[in-house]
Amino acid sequence: MSEYLPGLEGVPATKSNISFLDGKKGILTYRGYRIEELAEHSSFEETALLLLDGRLPTAEELACFDEDLRRNRRVRYNIREIMKYLPPTGHPMEMLQTAVASLGMFYPSDECLTGGDRCTDLNYIHNMSVKILARMATLVAMWEHLRNGYDPVAPRSDLTYAENFLYMLSGCEPDPLHARILDTCLVLHAEHTINASTFAALVAGSTLTSPYLVVAAAVGTLAGPLHGGANARVVEMLEETGGPDRVRPWLERRLAAKAKIWGFGHREYKVKDPRAIILQKLMERLMEHRGGRVSRLFETALALEAAAEEPLAAKGVYPNVDFYSGILYTEMGIPTDQFTAVFAVARCAGWLAHWCEQLADNRIFRPTQVYTGEDVRPYVPLEKRA
């Protein structure tokens, strides 16, 4: 194939049985299970193991996996010392990429990847996946305290993944509903076929580099505003509108200027993102829990979605997963600049599942190009150049 397609749009880059989406019908599945069912019935721990192993675990398998995650939440003090010397004004995603990459120096275990052949040691792959996934949330939560001049809150082994994450972020007992909502958000963000960050993980993994560096490559890719950073932009945008009563004229000006409407549109979906539908319902549930009080951000978002239906829906542009996730995180007290880091914590499960799949039938990525430069020409000595 020699045709150039910008962004590799529609070009198959790999074969995978991890997730599937039908953008015209609004269907997303993990290992064949619809995202709606997983969001309602599963947990992040179970979903992560489903992605990694390819099947729903037994109660015993899930309990063992959960215990492994709890046992590996702590990180060595050296990591904390590195983080202490990072600029407190740095973005959490820059911190996360640095910290994840450094983990490999303190927890070396890459013997499976040094022979130049494909790695078939499933125990090694599983154990490395557990260690990285367990520590992702720890790193994000530690940074919230360290960048503000405080010692981090130690993880607790008596809490679920989502509960512990919220506890480490705030130092307080997590609200049960907040924990359940965050758990569902982690499920929704855990995997989404070959997106930009997952492709970065595949390319890095194909070189047989350390899994820590595979995840670090993916984190750096997710940090971009066109990928994982969009939900923070949504919150800023909603605040910029001036409230639900001013949404329509704001939208008209935005569309006239052909400016981007953050949280709307998706390369794959031509209908409303199924994850956005679930997140909207979670927001409604949170508001009901608070006695029916509607968040101004949420009210503005609803007004914007209604105002955008006529000019955008006809073009197949609907709210995506970023439109409501940032509002939920704001309502739970998570700082805006941490939104993408929370995304990374969840998506790490998908990255590692794809890393495992890549290793099973590995070939280093080496795409070609369409050359647009000069033909071969003679070198001109410096003294003869005009």
What's this model's pTM, rounded to 2 decimal places?
A: 0.93
Q: Whole domain around residue 170: which residue ranges?
A: 15-226+347-360
Q: What number is the average pLDDT over the span 350-376?
A: 93
What lies within 8 Å, CB to CB, of 100 at 6+ separation is 132, 136, 139, 212, 215, 216, 219
Q: Is the pLDDT of residue 1 over 60?
A: no
Q: Is the pLDDT of residue 386 over 90?
A: no
Strands 27-30 and 33-34: antiparallel
In a domain, 366, yes or no: no
Set 189, 192, 266, 354: catalytic member: 266
Based on the residue annotation, tell me whether 145 is a catalytic residue of this protein: no
In a domain, 6, yes or no: no
pLDDT digits 0-9 by tens, 45-64: 999 999 999 999 999 999 99
Q: Angle formed by the axes of helices 122-146 and 92-106, to 10°?
A: 130
pLDDT over 70, % of the chain:
97
> Are residues 21 and 123 both part of a single domain?
yes
pLDDT of residue 14: 93
| Backbone angles phi and psi of 254, in degrees to 5 | -65, -45
pLDDT of residue 227: 87
pLDDT of residue 324: 94
pLDDT of residue 280: 96
> Are residues 253 and 203 both part of a single domain?
no
Which tokens hold the place of 223?
Answer: 């940090």
pLDDT digits 0-9 by tens, 163-200: 999 999 999 999 999 999 999 999 999 999 999 999 99
Q: Is the pLDDT of residue 241 over 90?
A: yes
- Mean model confidence pLDDT for the chain: 93
Q: Are the C-beta atoms of 163 and 44 separated by less than 8 Å?
A: no
> Are residues 321 and 203 both part of a single domain?
no
> Are residues 34 and 181 both part of a single domain?
yes
Instruction: Tell me which of 50-64, 117-131, 224-238, 309-323 is least confident.
Output: 117-131
Based on the residue annotation, tell me whether 266 is a catalytic residue of this protein: yes
| Beta bridge partner(s), residue 30 | 19, 33
Q: Is the pLDDT of residue 10 over 90?
A: no
Banded pLDDT at 294 (limits 50, 70, 90): confident
> Are residues 323 and 177 both part of a single domain?
no
In a domain, 383, yes or no: no
Spatial separation of the C-alpha atoms in residues 52 and 130, rounded to whole Å: 10
pLDDT digits 0-9 by tens, 122-142: 888 999 999 999 999 999 999
Instruction: Tell me which of 104-118, 235-249, 338-352, 367-381 is least confident.
Output: 104-118
Banded pLDDT at 42 (limits 50, 70, 90): very high
Coil, strand or helix at 197: helix
Spatial separation of the C-alpha atoms in residues 247 and 146, rounded to whole Å: 38
Q: What number is the average pLDDT over the span 103-117?
A: 73
Q: Is the pLDDT of residue 38 over 60?
A: yes
Provide the domain count of the chain.
2
> Are residues 273 and 171 both part of a single domain?
no
Set 322, 354, 361, 375: catalytic member: 322
Q: Is the pLDDT of residue 111 over 70?
A: no
